[in-house]
Structures are given as C-alpha cells and as structure tokens.
Amino acid sequence: MIPRTQPKQPVILSKAQNLSISPLSLLRDLRATLAAFVLTSLPLFFLLLPPATQAQPAKGKVSGTAVYNVTRELLAAAPKRYYGSPGHTDAEKFIKDHFAPEEKAGHLETDAFTASTPAGMQSLRNYIVKFPGKKDGIIVLGSHYETNYPLKDTAFVGANDGACTTALLIEIGEYLRTHPPSGYSVYLVFFDGEEAVKEWSHSDSLYGSRHLAAKLFNDGTLSKIKGFVLADMIGDKHLDIDQDANSDPKMVDLLKTAAKETGHAGAISSDTTPMEDDTLPFHQRGVPVVDVIDYDYGPHDNAHPDGYHHTPEDTIDKISAQSLQASADIFMQMIVLIDQH
Ligand code: ZN
C-alpha cells in the first residue's frame, strides 16, 4: 500500500471581515476564493481516491488467447523437449527468438551448467530475461520448459506441464517490453531440468532451480528477490489452483488476493497439499515463494489414476484460453501486489 498522508486542512475561505467593497472587487474576491477552493480541494480529492493500482486490476493486460496460441506454436516447434533431444534445442531457440530485443540489450542471461543425473551427465540451461524496474528489488516469475525425461519414448508433449506456462511467461514478457515495470524489476526464469530423470528424489529432480538458487545465493542476488511466483500446470480447462503448503503463507494470501481482485476467486481451490517444485530450493534459502499449481488435472479413473498428469493425454485440447486468461490476470496482479508489500 502507498503510505496514506493526512490531507491538508482547507484554507479559510471567508472574507466577511471586509464589508466595504465594490462589486468588481467582490467578483475578483469570488474568483480568488473559487481558485483557492479548487487548488486546496484537488489534492484532497486525489488523496481520497484509492491508489491507481487498486482502481485498475491487472485484468486483460496479457491475453489468454495469445498465451494459448504461443502454446500451440511451441508444441509445433518442439513437441518433445527432454534434455539431449533436438526438441530441447528447438525449445531453447523458441524462447530466445521471442526475446531477441532483450538479448540484444544484454538482458537475456543463459545459465548453462552440467548436472549429474541417473541418465549420466546432462548439459542443462536456464534462461533469465530481465526487465529492469524503478525500485531496488526483484520479482521472479518462473516456469520449467523441458518435458518429462522418463516419458521420452511416449507421445508425451506436456501441453499443460511445461508448454503453456512457458508461453505464459513469453506473453508476460511481450507486455513488459512495452510497459516496463514501474516498481521492482521483473525477471522471467525459464527453468530446465525440473523433472526427475528416473524417480523423484531430492537428488533426482529440480536440477535447474537447485542450480540457479545456489548461484544467485553466491552472487548476492537472492536476497534482492521480493517474491518468486512459479507457474505450473495452470492451463487446465478446469482450473483449481492449490494453496501449496510448501509456499510462503503470506505469498499464498497474496495469490488469493490477486485472484479475488481480478475476478478469479473461484480458480483457487481449498487443497493445501505440499508441493515439491522449482520454488522449493528458493524457499529453503528464505525467498518468499508461491507455487501456482493446479495438480488436479483431468479425470481420476482406472485408466487415469493420476489424471492427465504425466500421460500422453496432456495435450492442447485439455487446456483453454479461458484458464490461461485467469492465470495471466493473476500473475500480472501478483506483480502489482508484491510491489505494494
Ligand atoms: Zn511434470
């Protein structure tokens, strides 16, 4: 919230003590009185208005249809994006091509590293796109872009799991290019290596985020992060975003506020299952994080005990522009809210 200052006292408008005046001087006095009234009342009027950021929620700034279309383009350019595959390289090119102006300005950073995995040493790359703001501090918005490695020999493309949230960040970047942040700087982080290579464990998962959290801790950037908002699986046609118990409770509150203020309160479920996601390595180092994830994806029947999650049925027909609109609105409002706190 912006600090509220006490409105100034209005000046005394009466000139009743001066009774022997001509009609002309009376008119002059009346004009002066009116001018004084307007000048003293205008600041009061503006003080009584709610802050501009509250009056105009970040609704519709980023188009859900545009996010949906970029998802389709990414899936066409790089349907399989597991590391070591040509599709992984295609996905990297897709991201970099969308941020050519930022790369030219030196605001696209490639965080390349090697990870020891059950499938051997892998070359991984996170991408960080920076939009400098006016205040000292950073808001991080993130998503992973690679596809699940154990599913590499199936038809799995991860429309909801990786593709649509990568597209969401790309479209947020399009907006920030023409509307630079007025508060904290905004960093878009495209994580590699979120998925386990063999079986989820502390050592076999979150390769990209563990690497980046350590790197940003070592170079002193981590302490400047005011909030980290992660997007995961939030294109689901039936959007019900969890209240992740492994996230910062204050950030979860901000998430609920952002959803309410943009008219998407119904998109937040009461589920508080703790998630292990790319937010975790940052959370463990004290960064305020929220994992914006809808883990409940598709039907839960014998054919789909875990819904469409990690199945070849995670395809573009299971996500919608409407859900992506809600997710985009909520993410843009999170920027506004973190700026105010
Ligand atoms: Zn996944």
pLDDT at 251 over 90: yes
With a pLDDT cut of 70, the percent of the chain lying above it is 84
What distance in angstroms lies between residue 241's CA and the mean position of ligand 1's atoms? 16
What distance in angstroms lies between residue 55's CA and the mean position of ligand 1's atoms? 37
pLDDT at 36 over 60: no
Q: Edge-to-edge, what's the strand order for the sheet holding 184-191?
A: 108-117, 120-131, 184-191, 135-144, 225-232, 289-293
Task: Say which range, 38-52, 222-236, 311-325, has the weakest mean pLDDT.
Answer: 38-52
With cut-offs at 50, 70 and 90, classify the pLDDT of residue 54: very low
pTM for this predicted structure: 0.83
Rounded CA-CA distance 190/231 in Å is 10
What distance in angstroms lies between residue 219's CA and the mean position of ligand 1's atoms? 29
Q: Which two tokens stand for residue 204?
A: 């076999």
What distance in angstroms lies between residue 277's CA and the mean position of ligand 1's atoms? 10
What distance in angstroms lies between residue 144's CA and the mean position of ligand 1's atoms? 9
What distance in angstroms lies between residue 309's CA and the mean position of ligand 1's atoms? 7
Domain ranges, ordered by start, for the chain: 1-49, 54-340
What distance in angstroms lies between residue 232's CA and the mean position of ligand 1's atoms? 9
With cut-offs at 50, 70 and 90, classify the pLDDT of residue 56: low
Rounded CA-CA distance 320/289 in Å is 26
Q: Say what the pLDDT of residue 301 is.
A: 86
14-23 pLDDT, tens per residue?
A: 333 333 444 4
Q: Is 55 exposed, middle or buried (0-12, 13-18, 19+ CB in 10 A)?
A: exposed
pLDDT at 2 over 90: no
What distance in angstroms lies between residue 151's CA and the mean position of ligand 1's atoms? 10
CATH superfamily of 54-340: Zn peptidases (3.40.630.10)
What distance in angstroms lies between residue 11's CA and the mean position of ligand 1's atoms? 64
What distance in angstroms lies between residue 104's CA and the mean position of ligand 1's atoms? 32
106-119 pLDDT, tens per residue?
A: 999 999 999 999 99
167-221 pLDDT, tens per residue?
A: 999 999 999 999 999 999 999 999 999 999 999 999 999 999 999 999 999 999 9
What distance in angstroms lies between residue 192's CA and the mean position of ligand 1's atoms? 12
What distance in angstroms lies between residue 162's CA and the mean position of ligand 1's atoms? 7
**Cβ(124)–Cβ(83) below 8 Å:** yes
